[in-house]
Each structure stands twice: as structure tokens, then as C-alpha cells.
């Protein structure tokens, strides 16, 4: 298994023929093709960087197998211009690690059997004056990293949020003193074991109920939309130590820019073709549905093989999920319950039958491996295509049900008004709208409040009544 995220390093060199020919994507592809274990993948990736050089951004690669998980971080920029730098650290058994667009490996201990690194790490760090022995242990993140993307908490907010969700007993603070904080450990022991449903849900987080809650008003709007159009300073620009940007949005875990996400599951109790599963969801995690793709399958449906962000095609798996996410943003708090209900139905069904499907596959595997692989291929095809069909139908229901901002009851053929919440009407001056003919005088009255009640003014002037009852 492999996962990836991009990080800022102090130097991002360009590719150069014969000197720097590898980026993380090629490295992970080669490792996945040629290695059987996570440890082998780390060793091969490191050797390729040493021999052929590394270009581009800093990167994190996570390699996993049914027994171990290793975190590998890398960057370019050697004094000679060749090679590159890399370190790797094993995640302790029973612990939970988070990568979020920033290096996370800290002190390098030559005596630690669960760490490996390039041979030139210490000498080059000293040569470039990024570290000196007098500083104490070499801190990889401080010496070679450049902190967070874009703005504070772009990375660390997500690290905190997931750690706090899986291990709330640690009482970790969402606030830190800077990008190289040590308040968040490399890995944590979850308070309780994490099942697949909970893993899916971690990806779907927008900081709900926290200081960074993206559904909160006023930016979340009347219907708690957790997604933001990028502001002028939310781009993936490097955040320099002395730079104060004019503003920023918090970067949630489930982001609208996400093309796909996955949860990789591996169990040593089963043969790899059966025990290893990639649960894949297209578009943003919060509005997707995860389907199992077994390692032993012989192929995947055409809808999941090809497609483009630039060519709209509802027969491509990405687009129905992307359209649900986009449509939901019109009235998010109204539509997300329907989306979550469909997630629960489809994912729950796949999880409930998983043990039975795998028992059948194992029985076949012990007799004929090809038959087992064909069985898993047919099951993966039918499940993933059912997800796609169901999400297309969900999109159609959402479009009809919430067209024009009304609630259109498909079953009863009735239409009702959803309307805006009272607080939003108040904040947007609904009470100063043309509810009397003398609008100019109404708008001159300070502190008129909306209370959602109609009254009959039987005598006197309406403007005078409003002046005397501004809260009404």
C-alpha cells in the first residue's frame, strides 16, 4: 500500500537529465511494482534517490503491508546538485500517524532501528549550515523542511483534528507556537480501535464543532456550506517565516479540490489477493461513497479507468460524485442528511457482506486462485457500479427535490418553502426590506431586529410603531 502528500522543503530543484530524474510519483510506482514489503519499498526508494537524484517539492510517501507501516520523507537540494535527501520511520504497532502536507519526522537517532536515512544526511546538513552538532540531535523537519503551506494551521490543523478525534484523552490543543511545534507527537495510540466506518468518517471532517468549524456562520452561509472558494492568499504559496498574509480560510480535511480518496486495508490472516482491499471514493470524501477494490481483481470497470476533469461525462465515475458535491453546496445542511443516509446504506451493505464474500473467495482460492480472482473481480465490478448508479440516482433526486431552493416532495407532489434561518435574515437586513411604503424612514431607524412575527397596527403610523418596537 502507498499514500502520498506534498510538503514544502527548503529547496525544490528542477529535473535534470542524468542528475535528478525521480519525483515521488515515479518512485512510488516503481516500489509498488517491485517490492513485497513496506521496508523493501523504503530501501528501494532511498537507493533510487541516492543513485539517480530527486527533483521537485518535498514529499511524504507512506508504505504499508499487512505487518508494518513506514513513513518516508524526501527532498532535493544537495550541495553537489546530485542525489537527494530522505528519511524513513516505522509507525509503532497499534499507533496512528497523520501526514498533512508537512514533514513530520523529527529527531534522527543513528541508534534507532526504526529509522533509516540517506548516508549524506548529517554531513550535508552541516555543510549547508542547516544544522550543527552543537544544536543537539538532527531534527529532519526543522533542518530540511520549510514549514506549512499557505498559512498557519494549513497542515497542523488537520494533524490536530485527526489526533484529537482518535485520541481525545490526550487533550491536544488546536493552537501551537509555530510550524515546528512538538506538541503533536509523530504517532498516537487511539483511545479505541478504529474500524473502517470511522476511517471513512475521518476523511469527511470539516472541523465541525471546533474553533476551525467550516460550517459555522457567517462564512458557512445560511446552510452551513463547509467549502470555500479560495481567497487570494489560500493558494499553495510558500509561507515565509516573517510573512504576514492579509487573510486565510482554514483548510479542512474534506476539501472540494479533492479528486478521490481511499482507505487501504490489509490483513495478514488472509492471502493478499483477498486480505488487501482499496476502498475508493471519487470526488470529495464528505460527499462520496467508498467501494471495495480487492487486490486480487483482474481489472476494474471502464467508468473507473478513464476520464477527465475537463470533459463532462456522467459515465465516468468521477462526475456523478462531483456533481453531488457541487449541488449540495446550494443548500448543504438540507442535502447532506440524504447524502449521509445513502453512504450508510451502501457502505453498510458492503461492510456487512465483507466477511461472507471473503469466505467464498478463500474457499475458491484454496482450490483455484484464478477462480477466486474472477469472483472478486465480478464482486468489485458489481459493487462499484452499484455505487455509481446509486449516486447518479441520488443526484437526480437532489436536483428535483431542491430545485429553485424549495422542498419539492417527489412522493407527494407537494412544494414547500425551506427559506433562510432567522439569524441569516437578521444579519442580511431582511427587517429593513420594503415591508412599509416609507422605506427611507424605515432604513433610518437604528437597531431594528427580525423576530419572525406579524402584527396588525390598528392605529397610528407604522413607522412610529417600528420606532417604538425595534425588536419587532
pLDDT at 242: 80
399 and 297 both lie in a single domain = yes
431 and 357 both lie in a single domain = no
Distance of alpha carbon 394 from alpha carbon 336, whole angstroms: 11
Q: Do the Cβ atoms of 102 and 155 come closer than 8 Å? A: yes
- Please count the other Cβ atoms lying within 10 Å of the Cβ belonging to residue 4: 14
281 and 426 both lie in a single domain = no
| Domain assignment of residue 127, yes or no | yes
| Domain assignment of residue 390, yes or no | yes
Q: pTM higher than 0.85 for the full model? A: yes
pLDDT at 300: 96
List per-block mean pLDDT (blocks of 10 residues) for the chain, which spans 472 residues. Answer: 95 91 96 97 97 95 97 88 91 97 97 97 95 97 93 96 98 97 98 97 98 96 95 81 87 95 97 98 98 97 94 96 98 98 98 98 98 98 98 98 95 96 95 93 93 85 87 59
18 and 165 both lie in a single domain = yes
123 and 44 both lie in a single domain = yes
pLDDT at 54: 95
Distance of alpha carbon 18 from alpha carbon 23, whole angstroms: 13
Q: Do the Cβ atoms of 118 and 49 come closer than 8 Å? A: yes
pLDDT at 472: 54
| Domain assignment of residue 104, yes or no | yes
pLDDT at 367: 97
Distance of alpha carbon 54 from alpha carbon 85, whole angstroms: 8
Terminal CA-to-CA distance of the chain, rounded, Å? 62
pLDDT at 384: 98
Q: Do the Cβ atoms of 463 and 472 come closer than 8 Å? A: no
Name the residue range of residue 282's domain.
261-409
* Total number of domains constituting the chain: 3
Q: What are the DSSP calls for 390-454, one per residue?
A: HHHHHHHHHHHHTGGGEEEETTTTEEEE----HHHHHHTTGGGSSSSS-HHHHHHSTT----S--
Q: What are the DSSP calls for 57-115, one per residue?
A: SEEEEEEE-SS-EEEEEEE---TTS-S-EEEEEEPPTT-EE---SS----EE-TT-TTE
71 and 174 both lie in a single domain = yes
404 and 430 both lie in a single domain = no
361 and 461 both lie in a single domain = no
| Domain assignment of residue 135, yes or no | yes
Distance of alpha carbon 403 from alpha carbon 393, whole angstroms: 15
100 and 171 both lie in a single domain = yes
pLDDT at 398: 98
Sign of CA dihedral 276, 267, 65, 170: positive
pLDDT at 71: 98
Sign of CA dihedral 167, 171, 173, 178: negative
Q: Do the Cβ atoms of 321 and 254 come closer than 8 Å? A: no
8 and 147 both lie in a single domain = yes
Helix 196-203 vs helix 156-166: angle between axes, to the nearest 10 degrees?
A: 150
Q: Where a domain ends, among 168, 194, 220? A: 194
Q: What share of residues in the chain are helix, strand, coil (percent, to 5)?
A: 35, 15, 50
Residue 67 backbone phi and psi in degrees, to 5:
-115, -35
305 and 442 both lie in a single domain = no
| Domain assignment of residue 385, yes or no | yes
The distance of Cα 268 from the centroid of its chain, to the nearest Å, equals: 27
| Domain assignment of residue 56, yes or no | yes
Bond prior to 261 in cis (omega within 30° of 0)? no
pLDDT at 388: 97
Q: Do the Cβ atoms of 242 and 289 come closer than 8 Å? A: no
Distance of alpha carbon 364 from alpha carbon 373, whole angstroms: 9
| Domain assignment of residue 250, yes or no | no
pLDDT at 359: 98
| Domain assignment of residue 235, yes or no | no
pLDDT at 196: 97
Amino acid at each position: 500500500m502507498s499514500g502520498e502528500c506534498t510538503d514544502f522543503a527548503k529547496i525544490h530543484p528542477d529535473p535534470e537529465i542524468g542528475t535528478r530524474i525521480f519525483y515521488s510519483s515515479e518512485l512510488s510506482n516503481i516500489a509498488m511494482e517491485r517490492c513485497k514489503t513496506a521496508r523493501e519499498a523504503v530501501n528501494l526508494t532511498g537507493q533510487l534517490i541516492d543513485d539517480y537524484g530527486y527533483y521537485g517539492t518535498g514529499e511524504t510517501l507512506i508504505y504499508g503491508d499487512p505487518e508494518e507501516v513506514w513513513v518516508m520523507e524526501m527532498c532535493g537540494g544537495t550541495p553537489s546538485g546530485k542525489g537527494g535527501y530522505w528519511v524513513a520511520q516505522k509507525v509503532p504497532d497499534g499507533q496512528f500517524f497523520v501526514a498533512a502536507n508537512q514533514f513530520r519526522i523529527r529527531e534522527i537517532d543513528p541508534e534507532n532501528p526504526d529509522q533509516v536515512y540517506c548516508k549524506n544526511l548529517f554531513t550535508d546538513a552541516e555543510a549547508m549550515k542547516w544544522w550543527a552538532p552543537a544544536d543537539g540531535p538532527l531534527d529532519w523537519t526543522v533542518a530540511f523542511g520549510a514549514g506549512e503551506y499557505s498559512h498557519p494551521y494549513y497542515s497542523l490543523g488537520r494533524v490536530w483534528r485527526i489526533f484529537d478525534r482518535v485520541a481525545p484523552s490526550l487533550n491536544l490543543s488546536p493552537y501551537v507556537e509555530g510550524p515546528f511545534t512538538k506538541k503533536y507527537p509523530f504517532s498516537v495510540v487511539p483511545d479505541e480501535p478504529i474500524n473502517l466506518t470511522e476511517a471513512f468518517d475521518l476523511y469527511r471532517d470539516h472541523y465541525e464543532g471546533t474553533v476551525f468549524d467550516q460550517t459555522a456562520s457567517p462564512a458557512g452561509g445560511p446552510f452551513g456550506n463547509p467549502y470555500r472558494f479560495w481567497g487570494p492568499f489560500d493558494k499553495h504559496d510558500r509561507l515565509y517565516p516573517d510573512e504576514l498574509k492579509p487573510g486565510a480560510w482554514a483548510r479542512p480535511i474534506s476539501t472540494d479540490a479533492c479528486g478521490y480518496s481511499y482507505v487501504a486495508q490489509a490483513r495478514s490472516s488472509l492471502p493478499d489477493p483477498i486480505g488487501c482491499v482499496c476502498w475508493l471514493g471519487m470526488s470529495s470524501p464528505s460527499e462520496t461513497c467508498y467501494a471495495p477494490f480487492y487486490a486480487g481483481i483482474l481489472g476494474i470497470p471502464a467508468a473507473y479507468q478513464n476520464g477527465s476533469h475537463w470533459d463532462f461525462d456522467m459515465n465516468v465515475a468521477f462526475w456523478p460524485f462531483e456533481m453531488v458535491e457541487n449541488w449540495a453546496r446550494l443548500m448543504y445542511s438540507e442535502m447532506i442528511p440524504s447524502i449521509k443516509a445513502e453512504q450508510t446504506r451502501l457502505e453498510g451493505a458492503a461492510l456487512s457482506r465483507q466477511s461472507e464474500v471473503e469466505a467464498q473467495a478463500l474457499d475458491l482460492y484454496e482450490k483455484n486462485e484464478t477462480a477466486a480472482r474472477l469472483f472478486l473481480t465480478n464482486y468489485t465490478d458489481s459493487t462499484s457500479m452499484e455505487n455509481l448508479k446509486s449516486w447518479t440516482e441520488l443526484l437526480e433526486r437532489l436536483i428535483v427535490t431542491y430545485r429553485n431552493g424549495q422542498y419539492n416532495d417527489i412522493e407527494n407532489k407537494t412544494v414547500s418553502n425551506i427559506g433562510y434561518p432567522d439569524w441569516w435574515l437578521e444579519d442580511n437586513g431582511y427587517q429593513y426590506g420594503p415591508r412599509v411604503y416609507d422605506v427611507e424612514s424605515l432604513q433610518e431607524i437604528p437597531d431594528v431586529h427580525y423576530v419572525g412575527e406579524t402584527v396588525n397596527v390598528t392605529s397610528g403610523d407604522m413607522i412610529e410603531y417600528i420606532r417604538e418596537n425595534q425588536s419587532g
